[in-house]
């Protein structure tokens, strides 16, 4: 098996999680919660997901010089992730996320980005040698857009495929979208991006077609329990999900993206890579917490064999 080198550029947070009987309504207090802390952040989650599946992973991000930042670096190193290109910020605290999870696995999340919001194009440029030698570069939108744009430009200049998970949802310029090799939105994000002026296409397939028309080379759109829609030139295919009983959906999308980068970085066809990523995402929903839920390659193989 070829070991892909995945460069992940993005956020790293500390998640403060409360497991609730149900999510509170505005102005309501719900008692009976259980609290724990776990490593999180979309970028770090995706890096851990790919690393546990067997990829060689380099993480590019920005941390505060505080307890949370030190813990984040230790966690990444423990996963075997290269942290050479972490930037330390003495003025801004590390990012944190406050997460409530209901008994049926649904969640509500508030994020204070902290140092993630200070990542610069120059921070990305320092990692150019890693980007140049990567199988794929993975990005999200929990860091500033100019840093994302610079990363996509560098990937393109070195002939490296760029995977953009456009979350949290935000409008994106055409010159960025047309450089993206694979866009991985959920249905809401796809609808937001499907029109050049923010106009939303009607339905997942129409949104995917509109994104291809805007210059994206391929789309893998996550549709929750329905699975994922793969769209590329001349092809549109729904890849079904795997049935599990979820306990926490936090990080499932990140598990999907990390697994997709791992498989696509090995050269697997996109539909095959998405099927594997669906399995990894399903497994991730069966464990509490974001990074704690990322499965190993052995667990995924067993799940595919028995499920």
Domain limits of the chain?
5-25+32-306
Helices (H), 141-244: 145-157, 174-177, 187-193, 204-213
Sign of CA dihedral 137, 138, 144, 146: positive
Tell me the CATH number of domain 5-25+32-306, given options 3.40.1190.20, 1.20.120.450, 3.30.870.10, 3.30.1490.20: 3.40.1190.20
Q: What is the separation of C-alpha 248 from the centre of its chain, rounded to a whole number of angstroms?
A: 16
User: What's the predicted TM-score (pTM) here?
Assistant: 0.92
Torsion sign across C-alpha atoms 104, 105, 111, 114: positive
Neighbours of 169 (CB within 10 A): 15
Q: Using alpha carbons, list the distances in angstroms from residue 178 to 96, 100, 121.
A: 32, 36, 19
pLDDT digits (tens, 9 = 90+) for 22-31: 999 999 998 9
- Model pLDDT for residues 49-93, shown as the tens digit of each residue: 999 999 999 999 999 999 999 999 999 999 999 999 999 999 999
Instruction: Look at residue 120 and tell me whether its pLDDT is greater than 90.
Output: yes
| Residue given tokens 């190993």 in the structure block | 296
Residue 241 CB neighbours (<10 A): 18
- Residue 109 in this model has a pLDDT that exceeds 90: no
Tens-place pLDDT, residues 2-13: 899 999 999 999
**The CA-based dihedral angle spanning residues 299, 300, 305, 307, taken in that order and rounded to the nearest 10 degrees:** 100
Handedness of CA 184, 189, 195, 198 (dihedral sign): negative
The partner residues of 222 in beta bridges, in order of sequence, read 186, 228
Q: How many helices and strands in the chain, by DSSP H and E?
A: 11, 13
Question: What was the pLDDT predicted at 132?
Answer: 98
Distance of alpha carbon 3 from alpha carbon 5, whole angstroms: 7
Active site positions, annotated: 254
């Amino acid at each position: 098996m070829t070991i892909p080198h995945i460069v992940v550029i993005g956020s790293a947070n500390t998640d403060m999680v409360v497991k609730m009987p149900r999510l509170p309504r505005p102005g309501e207090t719900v008692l009976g919660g259980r609290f724990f802390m776990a490593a999180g952040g979309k970028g770090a989650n995706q890096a851990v997901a790919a690393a546990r599946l067997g990829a060689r992973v380099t993480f590019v991000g920005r941390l505060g010089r505080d307890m949370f930042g030190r813990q984040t670096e230790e966690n990444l190193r423990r996963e075997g992730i290269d942290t050479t290109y972490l930037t330390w910020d003495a003025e801004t605290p590390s990012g944190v996320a406050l997460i409530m999870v209901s008994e049926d696995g649904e969640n509500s999340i508030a994020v204070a980005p902290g140092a993630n919001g200070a990542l610069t194009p120059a921070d990305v440029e320092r990692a150019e040698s890693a980007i140049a030698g990567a199988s794929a570069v993975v990005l999200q939108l929990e860091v500033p857009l100019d840093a994302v744009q610079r990363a996509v430009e560098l990937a393109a200049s070195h002939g490296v495929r760029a995977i953009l998970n456009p979350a949290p949802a935000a409008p994106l310029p055409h010159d960025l979208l047309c450089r993206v090799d694979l866009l991985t939105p959920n249905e809401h994000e796809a609808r937001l991006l499907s029109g050049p002026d923010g106009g939303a296409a009607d339905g997942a397939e129409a949104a995917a077609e509109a994104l291809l028309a805007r210059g994206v080379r391929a789309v893998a759109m996550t549709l929750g329990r329905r699975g994922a829609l793969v769209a590329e030139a001349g092809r549109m295919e729904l890849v079904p999900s795997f049935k599990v009983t979820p306990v926490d959906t936090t990080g499932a999308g990140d598990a999907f993206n990390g697994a997709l980068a791992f498989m696509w970085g090995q050269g697997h066809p996109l539909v095959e890579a998405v099927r594997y990523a669906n399995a990894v995402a399903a497994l991730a929903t069966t464990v509490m917490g974001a990074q704690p839920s990322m499965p190993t390659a052995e667990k995924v193989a067993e799940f595919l064999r028995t499920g």
